[in-house]
Structure formats: C-alpha cells, structure tokens
Structure 1
Amino acid sequence: MPGELKNCPRCGAVFVQALRSICTDCFHEEEKDFQMVYDYIRKRENRQATVTAVVEATGVAHERITQFVKEKRLLTTHFPNLHYKCDRCGGSLQQGRLCDGCRTSLHKEWQRVDEKSTQDDPPESRTYYSLKRGKK
C-alpha cells in the first residue's frame, strides 16, 4: 500500500506518510527524547520522579513526556509518579483521558439524558406496528 504525500505537522517538511504521522527526522528526534527520558527514570534514584522533575533534568518538553505515558511507552506501574491531566477537569491521571470522577459523572449524566428521552417519547413512538391487510 503506497504512502500519501503530506507535510509533517511538527516541522512542515514534505514526507511520504506510511506508518508514522511525522517525518523521519522528527521521528528520530522523538526517539532520542524518549531514550533520554527513559534512561533518566530507569535509574533507581529517579524512579519516583514526577513529570516536572523529568522535564527539568532532561530538557524534554512536558507534552512529549505526557505523550509517552499516554502511548504507554512509559508504564506508570514502573514509574508511579508520572501523571498527566484529565481532559475534562484537569485532575491527575495515569491512564486514559478522563479521571474516575469525570467518567462516573459523564456516565450518570448520559443515563439521565437517556432516561429523560425515553420518558418524553410517547409509547407508540417506541413500538413498530404493521398493517394487517386482509382479503376482501
């Protein structure tokens, strides 16, 4: 399957998009950043480091470290203080996009809206009827 000609979203260079959504140069830069972060937190004395501490020590951008955690390249089971923000409330997360509180809140809200919409509909709108056609 041939790739598609695109501009790299990071540097703007033209590249053929096949497996990655960024150009080869940006990919190598990202891998270099990952290795730097991983080498730092892999050391026993740095395993409890927070994202802010890792940023200060390595110079890698906060967003990129967060991306590594979200992509599960850095596992929070091994590095328990690597947190990022909930998309809804900004609370602390280690996996997913929403914290437990926001997930529960959205689920309850969705159920309430679903119940309200079924209560507002007349019963005949929730049922299918067929017409009997008899012979005369």
Structure 2
Amino acid sequence: MSNKLESMVINNPQRRTWGYRLRDISLVSATFALWVLFITQTYLTVTSSNFLAEQAYVLRILKLTAIDFVAVFVILHAWVLYERVLFRLRLRAYRRSLAQQETQPKLEAKPAEPQATAYSREASGHRQFATS
C-alpha cells in the first residue's frame, strides 16, 4: 500500500465564474485590510516614546511575530506555486503520452478462422469394445 498525498490545490472549472471570483477577492481584501489595521495599530503603539522605554521585550516579540508571519506566507505561496508547476508538468507529460499513443499504428483484431483438427480414437476418449 502506498500512501501518496494528492494535490490540495482545488482546480474546479465550475468555480471560475464571476460570483466565485468576487467572493474570493472580497475575502482576500478583507484579510488584507485586517492585517493592515493590525500592523498600523502595532506601528502606532510601538512608535510612542513611553512604550519604547518601558517594554523593550515586546518589541522583540513583535519582530519575531512579523518574521514568522512573513516566513509562513512565503513558504505557503512557494508551495502553491510548486504544486501548480508540478500539475502543469504532469498534464504536459500526460498529453505527450496521449499524442504518442495516437501516432502509433493501431492493431486490429481479426476473428479467428476455424481450424480442422484430427483426433485419434484413443485421444478422443472413446473406446471401441470388440464384441464376439
């Protein structure tokens, strides 16, 4: 048994309508707006002079959080791009194999012709008994 992970990127042609695209764009823009709001609030808090003097360790935590976010973001996007390229390569290889199969000569099966066979009496299993 082989445990093979399939692609997790959903490629459904029925979901390429404008309704689905508008929904996806609105979700991405809402997520992006929330991140911008979070970053802006963090920036305004960090730039205040009282905050800098009192809590230097929070700055380190914020830097680590920002680095982690960027790293995860880049890794996920690189993985999605890799999956897309891999899918295209597999599709290209599949299409090549189909093209090669079409160029090969096709064999047509002919019906078998009946052949005459001669059987001896002993081989056929029938025995003749002499009656005297």
Fold shared per TM-score above 0.5: no
Bigger RCO of structures 1 and 2 (CA < 8 A, at least 6 apart) = 2
More strand by share: 1
With structure 1 as the length reference, what TM-score do the two structures score?
0.28
TM-score by length of 2: 0.28
